[in-house]
Amino acid sequence: MQKKHVLAVAALAALSVSTVAGAQVIQPDLFGLGQQHVYVMSNGIDGNAVAVLRRNRSGSLDKVGTYRTGGKGVGVGTTAPPPDPLGSQNALLLSDDGHLLFAVNAGSHQVSTFLVLGDYLELVDVTDSGGTYPVSIAQRGDRLFVLNSAEQANVTAFRIGLFGNLSKVPGGSRVIGTDEPLVNGQPNVGNTASQLQFDRTGRWLAVSVKDSRDRGYVETFGVDRSGNLAKDPAITPTDDAAAFGFTFDAQNHLLLADGALNAVSSFSIGPRGDLTAISSPVADGQKATCWLDANGHLVYTASAGTNTLSSYRVDGAGRLTLLDGAAADLGTGHATTDVKFSRDGKSLYVNAPGTGTVKAFQVHADGSLVPLGETQVFGAGTGTQGLAVQ
Protein backbone atom coordinates (compact mmCIF):
# COMPACT_ATOMS: atom_id res chain seq x y z
CA MET A 1 0.00 0.00 0.00
CA GLN A 2 2.62 2.53 1.00
CA LYS A 3 4.77 2.00 -2.12
CA LYS A 4 1.87 2.79 -4.47
CA HIS A 5 0.97 5.90 -2.56
CA VAL A 6 4.58 7.12 -2.50
CA LEU A 7 4.80 6.63 -6.27
CA ALA A 8 1.67 8.70 -6.82
CA VAL A 9 3.00 11.53 -4.67
CA ALA A 10 6.41 11.35 -6.36
CA ALA A 11 4.79 11.61 -9.80
CA LEU A 12 3.02 14.83 -8.85
CA ALA A 13 6.15 16.19 -7.17
CA ALA A 14 8.03 15.75 -10.43
CA LEU A 15 5.82 18.43 -11.99
CA SER A 16 7.57 21.05 -9.83
CA VAL A 17 11.07 20.14 -11.08
CA SER A 18 12.52 21.29 -14.41
CA THR A 19 15.85 20.68 -16.13
CA VAL A 20 18.10 23.53 -17.28
CA ALA A 21 21.32 22.69 -19.19
CA GLY A 22 21.24 19.15 -17.78
CA ALA A 23 20.82 20.27 -14.18
CA GLN A 24 17.68 20.04 -12.08
CA VAL A 25 16.22 23.32 -10.87
CA ILE A 26 13.67 23.16 -8.07
CA GLN A 27 10.63 25.31 -8.79
CA PRO A 28 8.37 26.79 -6.10
CA ASP A 29 6.33 24.18 -4.20
CA LEU A 30 3.19 24.74 -6.29
CA PHE A 31 1.37 21.73 -4.89
CA GLY A 32 2.30 22.03 -1.22
CA LEU A 33 4.04 18.64 -1.24
CA GLY A 34 6.77 19.88 1.08
CA GLN A 35 4.23 21.29 3.53
CA GLN A 36 2.23 19.81 6.38
CA HIS A 37 -1.52 20.16 6.59
CA VAL A 38 -4.60 20.19 8.79
CA TYR A 39 -7.88 18.68 7.56
CA VAL A 40 -11.39 19.61 8.72
CA MET A 41 -14.71 17.97 7.78
CA SER A 42 -17.84 20.01 7.03
CA ASN A 43 -20.33 17.25 7.94
CA GLY A 44 -22.60 19.05 5.45
CA ILE A 45 -26.13 17.74 5.25
CA ASP A 46 -26.40 18.50 1.52
CA GLY A 47 -22.95 17.11 0.73
CA ASN A 48 -20.01 16.40 3.01
CA ALA A 49 -16.61 17.94 2.28
CA VAL A 50 -13.07 18.15 3.66
CA ALA A 51 -11.11 21.40 3.80
CA VAL A 52 -7.31 21.41 3.46
CA LEU A 53 -5.37 23.92 5.56
CA ARG A 54 -1.66 24.39 4.91
CA ARG A 55 0.55 24.68 7.98
CA ASN A 56 3.05 27.52 7.83
CA ARG A 57 6.46 27.28 9.50
CA SER A 58 5.11 29.13 12.51
CA GLY A 59 2.26 26.61 12.86
CA SER A 60 -0.44 29.03 11.63
CA LEU A 61 -2.86 27.94 8.88
CA ASP A 62 -4.01 28.99 5.41
CA LYS A 63 -7.03 27.37 3.77
CA VAL A 64 -5.99 26.08 0.33
CA GLY A 65 -8.89 23.91 -0.86
CA THR A 66 -12.16 22.07 -0.21
CA TYR A 67 -13.00 18.61 -1.58
CA ARG A 68 -16.32 16.74 -1.70
CA THR A 69 -16.44 13.33 -0.02
CA GLY A 70 -19.12 11.94 -2.35
CA GLY A 71 -21.39 11.32 0.66
CA LYS A 72 -23.58 13.26 3.08
CA GLY A 73 -23.10 14.48 6.62
CA VAL A 74 -25.88 15.39 9.04
CA GLY A 75 -25.37 19.11 9.67
CA VAL A 76 -26.15 20.45 13.14
CA GLY A 77 -27.36 18.28 15.98
CA THR A 78 -31.09 17.60 16.28
CA THR A 79 -31.37 14.98 19.05
CA ALA A 80 -28.69 16.58 21.24
CA PRO A 81 -27.66 20.21 21.56
CA PRO A 82 -25.22 21.51 18.92
CA PRO A 83 -22.30 21.62 18.29
CA ASP A 84 -22.02 17.84 18.62
CA PRO A 85 -23.98 16.11 15.83
CA LEU A 86 -21.80 12.98 15.70
CA GLY A 87 -21.00 12.62 19.39
CA SER A 88 -17.57 11.31 18.51
CA GLN A 89 -13.84 11.73 18.10
CA ASN A 90 -11.72 10.65 15.08
CA ALA A 91 -14.40 11.13 12.44
CA LEU A 92 -11.54 12.09 10.12
CA LEU A 93 -8.32 10.06 10.07
CA LEU A 94 -4.97 10.22 8.28
CA SER A 95 -3.42 6.86 7.47
CA ASP A 96 -0.29 5.86 9.34
CA ASP A 97 1.87 6.66 6.31
CA GLY A 98 0.09 9.99 5.76
CA HIS A 99 -0.86 9.22 2.15
CA LEU A 100 -4.56 8.48 2.68
CA LEU A 101 -7.33 10.41 4.43
CA PHE A 102 -10.51 8.67 5.59
CA ALA A 103 -13.79 10.49 6.35
CA VAL A 104 -17.15 9.31 7.69
CA ASN A 105 -20.39 10.29 5.98
CA ALA A 106 -22.93 9.79 8.78
CA GLY A 107 -25.90 11.00 6.73
CA SER A 108 -25.40 8.49 3.91
CA HIS A 109 -23.81 5.72 6.05
CA GLN A 110 -20.61 5.68 4.02
CA VAL A 111 -16.85 6.08 4.35
CA SER A 112 -14.75 8.06 1.85
CA THR A 113 -11.06 7.63 1.03
CA PHE A 114 -8.85 10.39 -0.37
CA LEU A 115 -5.34 10.16 -1.74
CA VAL A 116 -3.32 12.96 -0.13
CA LEU A 117 -1.32 14.96 -2.69
CA GLY A 118 0.06 17.95 -0.81
CA ASP A 119 -2.49 20.76 -1.00
CA TYR A 120 -4.79 18.48 -3.02
CA LEU A 121 -7.04 15.54 -2.21
CA GLU A 122 -8.08 12.95 -4.79
CA LEU A 123 -11.27 11.02 -3.96
CA VAL A 124 -10.55 7.35 -4.66
CA ASP A 125 -13.38 5.47 -2.94
CA VAL A 126 -16.81 5.85 -1.31
CA THR A 127 -18.16 2.70 0.29
CA ASP A 128 -20.98 1.56 2.57
CA SER A 129 -19.88 1.76 6.21
CA GLY A 130 -21.26 -1.65 7.17
CA GLY A 131 -23.87 -0.16 9.49
CA THR A 132 -25.75 2.99 10.41
CA TYR A 133 -24.34 6.42 11.29
CA PRO A 134 -20.54 5.96 11.08
CA VAL A 135 -18.76 8.32 13.49
CA SER A 136 -15.16 7.18 14.11
CA ILE A 137 -12.31 5.43 12.27
CA ALA A 138 -9.17 3.52 13.28
CA GLN A 139 -6.38 1.87 11.26
CA ARG A 140 -4.12 -1.13 11.87
CA GLY A 141 -1.81 -2.01 9.00
CA ASP A 142 -3.85 -2.75 5.87
CA ARG A 143 -7.14 -2.79 7.78
CA LEU A 144 -9.54 0.04 8.53
CA PHE A 145 -12.14 -0.22 11.28
CA VAL A 146 -15.32 1.89 11.25
CA LEU A 147 -17.54 2.55 14.26
CA ASN A 148 -21.26 2.66 13.32
CA SER A 149 -23.07 4.19 16.31
CA ALA A 150 -26.82 4.04 15.57
CA GLU A 151 -29.40 1.26 15.60
CA GLN A 152 -27.52 -2.01 16.21
CA ALA A 153 -24.11 -0.39 16.65
CA ASN A 154 -21.05 -2.21 15.37
CA VAL A 155 -17.43 -2.11 14.38
CA THR A 156 -16.87 -3.12 10.75
CA ALA A 157 -13.46 -4.11 9.36
CA PHE A 158 -12.28 -3.25 5.85
CA ARG A 159 -9.18 -4.17 3.89
CA ILE A 160 -7.35 -1.15 2.40
CA GLY A 161 -6.46 -1.78 -1.24
CA LEU A 162 -3.37 -0.64 -3.10
CA PHE A 163 -5.00 2.60 -4.21
CA GLY A 164 -7.03 3.23 -1.03
CA ASN A 165 -10.19 1.38 -2.04
CA LEU A 166 -11.97 -0.40 0.81
CA SER A 167 -13.42 -3.93 0.84
CA LYS A 168 -15.25 -5.49 3.77
CA VAL A 169 -13.45 -8.25 5.64
CA PRO A 170 -15.70 -11.36 5.65
CA GLY A 171 -16.90 -11.97 9.18
CA GLY A 172 -15.15 -8.77 10.29
CA SER A 173 -18.11 -7.05 12.00
CA ARG A 174 -18.52 -6.96 15.79
CA VAL A 175 -21.65 -5.78 17.63
CA ILE A 176 -21.40 -2.96 20.21
CA GLY A 177 -23.84 -3.04 23.11
CA THR A 178 -26.11 -0.16 22.03
CA ASP A 179 -29.22 0.05 19.84
CA GLU A 180 -30.16 3.72 19.47
CA PRO A 181 -32.81 4.50 16.81
CA LEU A 182 -32.52 7.31 14.30
CA VAL A 183 -34.82 10.28 14.88
CA ASN A 184 -34.89 12.74 11.97
CA GLY A 185 -31.80 11.01 10.61
CA GLN A 186 -29.80 11.18 13.87
CA PRO A 187 -29.57 9.08 17.05
CA ASN A 188 -29.49 10.53 20.55
CA VAL A 189 -25.70 10.90 20.75
CA GLY A 190 -25.87 10.87 24.54
CA ASN A 191 -26.42 7.10 24.31
CA THR A 192 -24.08 6.03 21.53
CA ALA A 193 -20.53 4.82 21.04
CA SER A 194 -18.05 7.70 20.78
CA GLN A 195 -14.73 6.52 19.41
CA LEU A 196 -12.53 3.57 18.57
CA GLN A 197 -8.73 3.48 18.61
CA PHE A 198 -5.92 0.94 18.81
CA ASP A 199 -3.53 0.96 21.72
CA ARG A 200 0.15 1.49 20.99
CA THR A 201 0.90 -2.25 20.78
CA GLY A 202 -1.85 -2.90 18.23
CA ARG A 203 -3.09 -5.79 20.39
CA TRP A 204 -6.23 -4.02 21.61
CA LEU A 205 -9.00 -2.02 19.96
CA ALA A 206 -10.86 0.15 22.49
CA VAL A 207 -14.36 1.60 21.99
CA SER A 208 -15.84 4.24 24.32
CA VAL A 209 -19.62 4.20 24.84
CA LYS A 210 -21.91 6.84 26.39
CA ASP A 211 -25.04 5.95 28.38
CA SER A 212 -26.95 8.91 29.85
CA ARG A 213 -29.28 6.53 31.73
CA ASP A 214 -26.53 4.84 33.72
CA ARG A 215 -22.73 4.78 33.36
CA GLY A 216 -20.61 4.82 30.25
CA TYR A 217 -18.13 2.06 29.55
CA VAL A 218 -15.20 1.00 27.41
CA GLU A 219 -15.26 -2.17 25.29
CA THR A 220 -11.81 -3.61 24.53
CA PHE A 221 -11.40 -6.15 21.72
CA GLY A 222 -8.33 -8.35 21.45
CA VAL A 223 -6.65 -8.40 18.02
CA ASP A 224 -4.87 -11.45 16.58
CA ARG A 225 -1.80 -11.42 14.31
CA SER A 226 -3.97 -11.32 11.19
CA GLY A 227 -5.82 -8.23 12.42
CA ASN A 228 -9.05 -10.06 13.34
CA LEU A 229 -11.00 -8.88 16.37
CA ALA A 230 -11.97 -11.20 19.21
CA LYS A 231 -15.63 -12.25 19.16
CA ASP A 232 -16.35 -10.70 22.55
CA PRO A 233 -14.79 -7.63 24.20
CA ALA A 234 -13.77 -6.98 27.77
CA ILE A 235 -16.20 -4.38 29.16
CA THR A 236 -15.14 -1.86 31.82
CA PRO A 237 -17.69 0.57 33.34
CA THR A 238 -16.47 4.14 33.86
CA ASP A 239 -17.35 6.69 36.55
CA ASP A 240 -19.12 8.92 34.04
CA ALA A 241 -22.21 8.58 31.85
CA ALA A 242 -20.47 10.27 28.92
CA ALA A 243 -17.38 8.17 28.18
CA PHE A 244 -16.23 10.22 25.22
CA GLY A 245 -12.92 10.90 23.43
CA PHE A 246 -9.76 9.06 24.43
CA THR A 247 -6.19 8.37 23.43
CA PHE A 248 -3.16 6.41 24.66
CA ASP A 249 -0.11 8.04 26.22
CA ALA A 250 3.51 7.08 25.52
CA GLN A 251 3.34 4.31 28.16
CA ASN A 252 0.09 2.94 26.66
CA HIS A 253 -2.25 4.18 29.39
CA LEU A 254 -5.76 4.94 28.17
CA LEU A 255 -6.72 8.58 28.84
CA LEU A 256 -10.47 9.18 28.70
CA ALA A 257 -12.50 12.41 28.57
CA ASP A 258 -15.44 12.23 30.98
CA GLY A 259 -17.97 14.46 29.25
CA ALA A 260 -20.55 14.69 32.04
CA LEU A 261 -18.12 15.06 34.95
CA ASN A 262 -15.93 17.43 32.90
CA ALA A 263 -12.79 15.53 33.78
CA VAL A 264 -10.13 13.11 32.54
CA SER A 265 -9.52 9.56 33.81
CA SER A 266 -6.60 7.21 33.15
CA PHE A 267 -6.47 3.42 32.97
CA SER A 268 -4.02 0.58 32.44
CA ILE A 269 -4.88 -2.37 30.17
CA GLY A 270 -4.84 -5.82 31.74
CA PRO A 271 -3.82 -9.09 30.04
CA ARG A 272 -7.45 -9.82 29.13
CA GLY A 273 -8.25 -6.31 27.95
CA ASP A 274 -9.90 -5.23 31.19
CA LEU A 275 -9.10 -1.70 32.36
CA THR A 276 -7.86 -0.73 35.82
CA ALA A 277 -8.32 2.87 36.97
CA ILE A 278 -5.15 4.84 37.76
CA SER A 279 -6.48 8.38 38.16
CA SER A 280 -10.19 8.66 38.89
CA PRO A 281 -11.87 11.60 37.14
CA VAL A 282 -9.67 14.70 37.52
CA ALA A 283 -11.98 17.68 36.91
CA ASP A 284 -11.01 20.72 34.85
CA GLY A 285 -13.79 23.04 36.04
CA GLN A 286 -15.22 23.49 32.54
CA LYS A 287 -18.40 22.28 30.77
CA ALA A 288 -18.81 19.54 28.14
CA THR A 289 -15.23 18.25 28.34
CA CYS A 290 -15.51 15.64 25.60
CA TRP A 291 -12.41 15.74 23.37
CA LEU A 292 -8.74 15.30 24.17
CA ASP A 293 -5.30 14.58 22.75
CA ALA A 294 -1.91 13.84 24.31
CA ASN A 295 1.72 14.22 23.34
CA GLY A 296 4.52 13.19 25.68
CA HIS A 297 3.57 14.27 29.20
CA LEU A 298 1.00 16.87 28.06
CA VAL A 299 -2.74 16.31 27.65
CA TYR A 300 -5.27 18.87 26.41
CA THR A 301 -9.05 18.71 26.59
CA ALA A 302 -11.63 20.75 24.68
CA SER A 303 -14.83 21.86 26.43
CA ALA A 304 -17.63 22.97 24.10
CA GLY A 305 -19.77 24.43 26.88
CA THR A 306 -17.16 26.96 27.99
CA ASN A 307 -15.22 27.45 24.72
CA THR A 308 -11.99 26.46 26.48
CA LEU A 309 -8.96 24.17 26.40
CA SER A 310 -7.59 22.66 29.61
CA SER A 311 -4.09 21.27 30.16
CA TYR A 312 -3.00 18.23 32.17
CA ARG A 313 0.27 16.48 32.89
CA VAL A 314 0.48 12.67 32.81
CA ASP A 315 3.45 10.96 34.46
CA GLY A 316 5.11 7.66 33.54
CA ALA A 317 2.72 5.72 35.76
CA GLY A 318 -0.34 7.25 34.08
CA ARG A 319 -1.23 9.60 36.95
CA LEU A 320 -2.94 12.83 35.89
CA THR A 321 -2.47 16.34 37.29
CA LEU A 322 -4.45 19.37 36.17
CA LEU A 323 -2.10 22.15 35.04
CA ASP A 324 -4.57 24.83 33.94
CA GLY A 325 -8.34 24.49 33.69
CA ALA A 326 -8.42 27.41 31.25
CA ALA A 327 -5.16 27.06 29.33
CA ALA A 328 -6.91 28.81 26.43
CA ASP A 329 -10.25 30.63 26.18
CA LEU A 330 -11.40 30.92 22.57
CA GLY A 331 -14.29 33.21 23.41
CA THR A 332 -18.07 33.04 23.44
CA GLY A 333 -19.67 31.09 20.62
CA HIS A 334 -16.65 29.07 19.48
CA ALA A 335 -17.91 25.75 20.92
CA THR A 336 -14.54 24.00 20.98
CA THR A 337 -14.68 20.33 19.94
CA ASP A 338 -12.00 18.24 18.22
CA VAL A 339 -8.46 18.98 19.40
CA LYS A 340 -5.27 17.53 17.88
CA PHE A 341 -1.51 17.87 18.18
CA SER A 342 0.62 18.21 15.09
CA ARG A 343 2.73 15.10 14.56
CA ASP A 344 5.86 16.98 15.62
CA GLY A 345 4.14 17.96 18.89
CA LYS A 346 4.93 21.65 18.46
CA SER A 347 1.44 22.88 17.60
CA LEU A 348 -2.10 22.24 18.80
CA TYR A 349 -5.24 22.76 16.72
CA VAL A 350 -8.86 23.00 17.80
CA ASN A 351 -12.01 22.83 15.72
CA ALA A 352 -14.57 25.52 16.64
CA PRO A 353 -17.84 24.68 14.84
CA GLY A 354 -19.67 27.52 16.55
CA THR A 355 -17.67 29.99 14.47
CA GLY A 356 -16.69 27.61 11.64
CA THR A 357 -13.01 28.19 12.38
CA VAL A 358 -9.85 26.34 13.39
CA LYS A 359 -7.58 27.93 15.97
CA ALA A 360 -3.84 27.21 16.14
CA PHE A 361 -1.57 27.29 19.21
CA GLN A 362 2.12 26.87 19.86
CA VAL A 363 2.77 24.40 22.69
CA HIS A 364 5.36 25.18 25.36
CA ALA A 365 7.06 22.53 27.50
CA ASP A 366 5.29 23.79 30.64
CA GLY A 367 1.88 23.27 29.00
CA SER A 368 1.17 26.92 28.25
CA LEU A 369 -0.28 27.80 24.85
CA VAL A 370 0.52 30.74 22.57
CA PRO A 371 -2.19 31.65 20.01
CA LEU A 372 -1.01 31.50 16.39
CA GLY A 373 -4.16 32.72 14.69
CA GLU A 374 -7.62 31.61 13.65
CA THR A 375 -8.67 30.47 10.17
CA GLN A 376 -12.21 30.58 8.74
CA VAL A 377 -13.00 27.19 7.23
CA PHE A 378 -16.77 26.62 6.98
CA GLY A 379 -19.88 28.55 7.91
CA ALA A 380 -20.55 29.33 11.57
CA GLY A 381 -22.89 26.88 13.32
CA THR A 382 -23.15 24.46 10.41
CA GLY A 383 -22.13 21.30 12.28
CA THR A 384 -18.49 20.83 11.32
CA GLN A 385 -16.84 17.92 13.09
CA GLY A 386 -13.66 15.92 12.54
CA LEU A 387 -10.04 17.09 12.59
CA ALA A 388 -6.86 15.42 11.33
CA VAL A 389 -3.35 16.88 11.54
CA GLN A 390 0.03 16.03 10.00
Exposure b/e, 51-61, CB count within 10 A at least 16 = b = bbbbbeeebbb
Residue ranges, the chain, pLDDT below 70: 1-34, 80-82
pLDDT at position 24 is 33
pLDDT for 33 = 65
Q: What is the pLDDT of residue 77?
A: 82
How does pLDDT run across 273-285, given as a tens digit for each residue?
Answer: 999 999 999 999 9
Q: Report the pLDDT value the prediction gives residue 31, as an integer from 0 to 100.
A: 59
Q: Are 156 and 129 in contact (CB under 8 A)?
A: yes
pLDDT at position 1 is 45
What pLDDT does residue 82 have?
A: 61
pLDDT at residue number 91 = 98
pLDDT of residue 26: 31
Of the candidate CATH numbers 3.40.190.10, 3.40.50.1820, 1.10.8.350, 2.130.10.10, the domain formed by 2-389 belongs to 2.130.10.10
Residue 81's pLDDT is what? 61
* Domain locations along the chain: 2-389
